Amino acid sequence: MNASSQATPATPATAAPAGTPAPGRRDRGVLGPVALVFAGGVSVQFGAALAVTLLPRTGAVGVVSLRLIAAAVVLLLICRPRLRGHSRADWGTVLVFGVTMAAMNGLFYQAVARIPLGPAVTLEVLGPLALSVLASRRAVNALWAALALAGVFLLGGAGGFGGLDPVGAAFALGAGAMWAAYIVFSARTGRRFPQADGLALAMAVAALLMLPLGVLESGTKLLVPSTIALGAAVAVLSSVLPYTLELLALRRLPAATFAVLMSLEPAIAAAAGFLVLHQGLSLTDAVAIALVIAASMGAVRTQVGRGRVKLPVDGG
């Protein structure tokens, strides 16, 4: 809000019509889903860093299986979703959402088993960025996506994409494509099911798909108590919290804006790598992070600026 709007008192001639939300309430309506997305990003990237430490114990598929099984159990117990009263289209959406989550997780952990976390997330985020351009109806959003893309490539260049395992890079790009699909089907699921019921059901589908593969790769290693505990922690950080927060955010946030906000993930991953995996940040990394954050904030400002409100970035 600008200074004049704060200093000018309402008069009978200029007062807002009855039923118009107060400015503070409108601002909270904008900030709410943005904060949910950011919190989800922090949770998922610190969960990913923790999962990297678990890879030597179980392998990539084993980590995914533990994560999805634990997440499915937690969500089913919390949500207790109804199994009756849903249409065939509802169940089809849940099934596709579950397949998408299984593929996204499986491909990503195959990537981080071969390449560092930062470059893996940097490549993965290209999927949501592509979605932001394709889904947007305004040319300026393509500009913000391009700025974020420049930051993503700068961050990846600092990690040395040229020396990456090409198979790992391909897995990361595949995970990015699944991430874009996740955004679409998460939104559809959120509209069809109350609360997080659809998420819980889709997580169960993903867990059932990955469990046989996890058993084949890791066998009894999945039953070690300390491994189960770490897997549960990864599930909460990387699945339960972020997926729930993002599903709730997508009910009030356009898919294009959400996709550009996902460009924050490489920056969050770099912070998680520094704090958990002791991976340092260079000056180039810092510049890349600044570009990505600027693009994300620009996308949000553009969205709400052409809508009905502005973000209170001036301290209002």
26 located within any domain: no
178 located within any domain: yes
25 located within any domain: no
Residue 278 has pLDDT above 90, yes or no: no
- The whole domain housing 270 covers 33-305
CA dist 256 and 128 (Å) reads: 9
286 located within any domain: yes
Give the chain's domain count: 1
pLDDT at 178: 93
81 located within any domain: yes
- Listed in sequence order, the DSSP H helices in the chain are 3-7, 23-79, 88-112, 117-124, 126-135, 139-159, 166-192, 197-218, 225-235, 241-250, 255-261, 265-276, 283-305
Q: What is the pLDDT of residues 5-59, one digit of tens each?
A: 333 333 333 344 444 444 444 445 556 788 888 888 889 889 988 888 888 888 8
15 located within any domain: no
Of 135-139, 150-154, 265-269, which range is least confident?
A: 135-139
Q: pLDDT-derived band of residue 171, with 50, 70 and 90 as boundaries? A: very high
Residue 276 has pLDDT above 50, yes or no: yes
Q: What is the pLDDT of residues 194-203, one digit of tens each?
A: 877 888 899 9
pLDDT at 136: 64
Q: pLDDT-derived band of residue 270, with 50, 70 and 90 as boundaries? A: confident
Q: What is the pLDDT of residues 290-306, one digit of tens each?
A: 787 777 667 666 655 54
278 located within any domain: yes
pLDDT at 36: 86
264 located within any domain: yes
Residue 183 has pLDDT above 80, yes or no: yes
pLDDT at 205: 95
The answer to whether the CB of 45 falls within 8 A of the CB of 268 is yes
For the segment 263-269, the average pLDDT, to the nearest whole number, is 77
